[in-house]
Structure 1
Amino acid sequence: MKSKFVRLQDIIIQDFKNVQYGQLSFENNRKNYDASILGLYGQNGSGKTSLIDAMLLLKYALCGQAVPEYFADYVNINAEYATLTYTFKVVNNEDYTEYKLIYSFNIKKDVEENINTNGIINNQKYKTVIFNEKLKLAYEHNQEKVKLSTIINTKSETEIFTPKSKYNILVGTNKKLVMDLMVAKKMTALSSMSFIFSRQFLDIIRKNCSDKNYLFAIESLVDYGNNELFIINVVNSGLINMNTLPINFKYEEKASLALGNLAIPLNDSVLIPEKMLDVLKKVIDDMNIVLKQIVPGLTIEICELGMELSKDNYKNVRIQFMSNKNDKQIPLKYESEGIKKIISVLQLLIVVYNQPSITVAIDELDAGIFEYLLGELLQIISEKGKGQLMFTSHNLRPLETIDKGFIAFTTTNPANRYIRFNNIKTNNNLRDFYYRDIILGEQEENTYEPTNKYDIAFAFREAGEHIGS
């Protein structure tokens, strides 16, 4: 059993992309399943991908990585900054202490101007700035209960962080550290990084923190972000469309851990480091156990084409991915995009099924996957799995196969972007219920901006007049 359990319980998104305000709880589970599933459905452009992007932003923050500059453009056009708030449940499995953590921060766009000696702006470069980070903590152990309180708030411009009492617990009273922390705070802001989860700050509190509960909680989020949170966005599908196979994986064997994302070109053979070959083979073997059940008789394998030395004298292996079905072997590049999509995420779905402290968020999970198979996979994971899976989809089959508490919908109201349906009876077909709401609008918020097929047909005809007959 792992020493800790981490699960994201709630997210609040404010002024981020087209979401002025949206809140989603991931613990709306009416049948006490171990798994936490959230399927998000809605009209195109209604805020589904915003959830996945908010999860990706969380990963960058927790990993202490620089947030890409394009996130600066995700701040709502009518706002100065966006606010993201995440609530976690953390359990220490060794002493059964249970923690509640709330992590929030703002992001904004900052402009860097390159001015020449004549005072003329040569160019402008934009970057994303994380600021006003706040971390709140509560915990309970046996009869001891500590109420939710802020332990780190970086809003102050004159203090490294407040409150002072928590500063002394986390950092101590050594005044020599003040300058190091002040520099770290300014550098992380300039580098589009989180200060709380920066290497510089973590190194200091690891040496000086006097409260084991504070340190355990923070370390748990660091480990979660680096080793247990995986985001699969539309870039994944884009690579598949270009005949590149992105394999996302987390593989544990005894004391060793391998995780990451490999993008393997399929149009030709490819060189990989020799030390990566063994890990990749184990991941493929693991996937094949499930793959041949999902797509009867199908397995994949690595064809080794020889060893080559790099210019730095490192050993590389040239490989090609092959598909095996009905005793016939063909290059994997000739398989359908749906097969490639399944392969690219399958290992993470295996991890979600088996491990409770794992979160996988997938945008457009249904892309290229047969709808009946999609429904079956999600039903199995939701009823028998242990981890946390978030996905967006346009395919409505899962509405008929997984518990209604696992489904949420976007609305046409940017100030209340996410809802769950009310007044659903046990025997209601959620797919039919959703279609009826699109037509009749029976919920408090509209879930569909009406379109008129006659207006669309006229628009097609009008546009055609400009291109000739």
Structure 2
Amino acid sequence: MKSCVRITNISIRNFKNVNHGELSFINGRKNFKASVLGLYGQNGSGKTALIDALELLKYALCAFEIPEQFADYVSVDSDHSELTYSFDVTLDETVYPVMYQLILTREQVQEGGNSESAAEEQTKCKPKLSVEVLKCQTKTSGGKLRMGKIIDTGSSTVFAPKSKYDLLVGKDRDTSTDLLVAKKLSQKTGKSFLFSNDILTAIRNHYIGNDDVNDEEQEERKYYLAIMESLVKFGNTELFVIKTANSGLISLNAQPLAFKIRGKETGSLGVVAVPIEEPSVIPEKTFHVMEAVIRNMNIVLEKIVPGLTIAIKNLGNQLMQNGDIGIRIELVSKKNSREIPLKYESEGIKKIISILQLLVVVYNQKSITVAIDELDSGLFEYLLGELLRIISEKGKGQLIFTSHNLRPLETIDRGFVAFTTTNPENRYIRLTNVKENNNLRDFYYRDIVLGEQEDAVYDLTNNAEIALAFREAGESIGS
């Protein structure tokens, strides 16, 4: 069954500095194939919180252990964060609305010191998905469709409602016991239970060869399983979240390459960080993947930066620490028939290289979602605006990004742009009263000064106070 998943909406509560914020990723103005959302706003106003929320979604859909820092993302004024994601899931050309909600809590755990002294025990917090809820279209007794709960892990049983549990998993006691243990283990280790292999396997096993239910119930179970499997596939192979740590690797003389490619028989995806300060050794399989990624990337790179391509030089085989044969490589850039080590290129060029293959995939594939924090970092503003114009007007996939550079406000449809506010209870808005002939960049600047929106988009600063603060700080250090 062919499937395609697209995020349509996100609601965030008590997560980082967002008490409440909601964003629709649907452009209600025009019918574009691509889904683009650029988020703009003042520093510390909730832009990165959106990217972190999407990263949390990826961890949940993949049933990966959630990193410890997410425990600190729960608002200090609350004991839990609540995030709700809405999707359009396409199964064989039919679109179904689906909603996934999670409640993130922090759980204190004790860590022992080097001795038996209780004083050396340290308390730290770990993230926990205490409740997960999946909703999709279900039929009422009258035959009408409505959004209904399929799985709610907030109950003391494996999950509720009981009617859906019996339909999906059955009434076998051993299965119920095994799932209850798996649920407690998932919550203890900070993983999603709803999208765990335990639940999916139980549903598949109950579905296969079960003749105890009628055809209508079999079709209903098949539909729910297809929804869940589509979301798991989306999280594992089609959702990419690129954070500012990606740029940090560049500063540390490592070249990250985020990619998704299809071969004749298989495909590859992931992020590879290649040291560029000096030649490095990589597995042979990774070498061939990187060759294919770079070959594909160069088609676009030499058009974006005229005449520039990159290459991976094979410096010969070398035995790796684990005993496997590796290949010693060096990344180089080529321009005007000359090769130089990639480490001597600008950080802007390295940033383009790190994300370019994903932008190619977003342009060509409807099923891909890429979220990038600070997309503009290191990019020339004119090039940034033109790239986003091309992807938004002619692309097929979904691109979500944050940026400080305002050039894209002049090149992409305003339905693709949202802004943060200074109000933590309403963090995300679309600007109102914008006319067709308004320059959105100028309109935004004017709104910063005049504050014409219902919620202010900028916490105004005073230049005189800033200058005085600089002077006082200088005096305190004896300058």
Normalised TM-score (structure 2): 0.94
Deviations 1:4-26 (A, max 9, x none): 11100000000000000000000
Contact 1:97 1:139 in 2 (8 A): no
* Match of residue 48 from structure 1: 47
Cα displacement (A) at 1:147: 1.6
| Structure 1, 260-269 or 107-116: larger mean CA deviation | 107-116
| In structure 2, C-alpha distance between the alignment counterparts of 1:460 and 1:51, rounded to whole Å | 33
Shift of 1:334: 0.4
Q: Work out whether residues 281 and 320 of structure 2, in 8 Å CA contact, stay in contact via their aligned partners in 1.
A: no
Residue in 1 aligned with 2:397?
A: 387
CA distance in 2, matches of 1:269, 1:29: 50
288-297 vs 121-130, which deviates more?
A: 121-130
**Where in structure 2 are the equivalents of 1:48-447 lying within 5 Å?**
48-93=47-92, 96-114=93-111, 120=119, 122-138=121-137, 146-156=145-155, 158-209=156-207, 210=218, 211-447=221-457
Secondary structure of 1:183's match?
helix
Note closer, same or farther for the CA distance 1:114–1:319 as it changes in structure 2 (3 Å cut): closer
Offset of residue 126 of structure 1: 2.0
Q: Give the secondary structure class of the aligned counterpart of 2:476.
A: coil
- In structure 1, runs of 5+ residues without a counterpart are none
Q: CA RMSD in A?
A: 1.4
Residue 17 (structure 2) aligns with = 18
Q: Which amino acid aligns with 2:67?
A: P
Secondary structure class of the residue paired with 1:258: strand
Aligned length: 462
- Structure 2 counterpart of 1:42, one-letter code: G
| CA distance in structure 2 between the aligned counterparts of 1:372 and 1:224, rounded to whole angstroms | 32
Distance 2:58 2:388 in 1: 24
Deviation at 1:114, TM superposition (A): 3.8
> 2: CA distance between counterparts of 1:171 and 1:82?
29
Cα deviations across residues 337-384 of structure 1 (Å, max 9, x unaligned)?
000000000000000000001100000000000000000000000000
Q: CA deviation at 1:461?
A: 0.3
* Distance in 1 between residues matched to 2:339 and 2:320, nearest whole Å: 30
Partner SS, residue 465 of structure 1 = helix
Distance 1:29 1:377, change over 3 A: farther
Which string of whole-angstrom CA distances, capped at 9 and with x for unpartnered residues, describes residues 227-261 of structure 1? 00000001001111112111000001233110000
Native 8 Å contact 1:100 1:139 kept in 2: no
| Residue pair 1:29, 1:36 contacting (<8 A) in 2 also | no
Once the two structures are superposed, what CA deviation does each residue of 1:406-433 show, in whole Å capped at 9, x if it has no partner? 0000000000000001111111100000
1:145 Cα deviation after fit: 5.7
The letter of the residue matching 2:35 is: S
Write the letter of the residue equivalent to 1:447: V
CA drift of 1:29 comes to 3.9
Q: Offset of 1:118 from its aligned partner?
A: 6.5
In structure 2, what is the Cα distance between the partners aligned to 1:161 and 1:179? 12
* Superposed displacement of residue 309, structure 1: 1.7
Give distance in 2, aligned partners of 1:109 and 1:229.
25
Change (3 A) 1:118 1:303: closer
Structure 1 residues 311 and 418: alpha-carbon distance in aligned structure 2, compared to 1, 3 A threshold: closer
1:150 is displaced (CA, Å) by 0.2
- Counterpart of 1:317 in structure 2: which amino acid? I
